[in-house]
Structure formats: structure tokens, C-alpha cells
């Protein structure tokens, strides 16, 4: 089961987040902190993947709202990414 983890402090590293989750939840298989391609800095969210649905649900219950380095984490089940039909160019057909 994959979880969305939001409101991560920008100064936090992927390994810090992995440690936070793996400390208590042994079924954590991966943690991916999403980085900005241009700046190389954290975008403030990531994804935790668990092999046990029960532990993933427990992580949501215990860590959603958890104060981590001064910010309350948002933890919930990840939703599939929506398809972007315009490929990120909302005004591509606007011509004068």
C-alpha cells in the first residue's frame, strides 16, 4: 500500500523520513521524497510504500497530524496520479 506524506519540512531529508517510518513500521519497503528538478530542493511531499496494508493504515492513524520538525505531517492513502491531457500546456491552442 502506498501512502502520500505531505507538509514535510523543506530541510528534511529522504533518509530522515525513511527513519521516521521504519522506526515503528517494519513493513516499510521504500520512501521517496519528491524533489524539484530545477532547484534540487524538496517539494515538501513524498510517498511511503508498505508491504503490509495493516501497518500502512496504522501509520496513517498515528502519523497524520504528527509534529515533525515543527510541521504537522499529512499522511493518507495515495491516490493514482490524474492523467494530464494537455501535457502541462493549458494555452497551447490559443493563437492570435
pLDDT tens figures, 7-20 = 999 999 999 999 99
Give the separation between CA 50 and CA 75, rounded to whole angstroms: 13
* CB of 9 closer than 8 Å to CB of 66: no
Residue 38 belongs to domain spanning: 2-77
Q: Is residue 92 part of a domain?
A: no
What pLDDT is stored for residue 92 in this prediction?
A: 63
Q: Is residue 29 part of a domain?
A: yes
Encode 70-95: b = buried (16+ Cβ within 10 Å), e = exposed: eeebbbeeeeeeeeeeeeeeeeeeee
Q: pTM here?
A: 0.83
Q: Is residue 61 part of a domain?
A: yes
The enclosing H or E element of 14 equals: helix 14-24
CATH number for 18:
3.30.70.330
What pLDDT is stored for residue 35 in this prediction?
A: 97
Which segments in the chain show pLDDT lower than 70? 84-96
Q: Say how many C-beta atoms besides its own lie within 10 A of residue 23's C-beta.
A: 9
Classified as helix, coil or strand, 10 is: coil
Q: What's the number of domains the chain is made of?
A: 1
Amino acid at each position: 500500500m502506498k501512502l502520500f506524506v505531505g507538509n514535510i519540512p523543506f530541510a528534511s531529508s529522504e533518509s530522515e523520513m525513511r527513519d521516521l517510518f521504519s522506526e515503528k513500521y517494519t513493513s516499510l519497503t521504500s520512501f521517496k521524497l519528491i524533489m524539484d528538478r530545477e532547484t534540487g530542493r524538496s517539494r515538501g511531499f513524498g510517498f511511503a510504500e508498505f508491504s503490509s496494508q495493516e501497518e500502512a493504515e496504522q501509520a496513517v492513524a498515528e502519523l497524520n497530524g504528527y509534529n515533525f520538525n515543527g510541521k504537522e505531517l499529512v499522511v493518507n492513502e495515495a491516490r493514482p496520479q490524474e492523467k494530464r491531457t494537455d501535457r502541462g500546456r493549458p494555452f497551447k491552442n490559443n493563437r492570435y
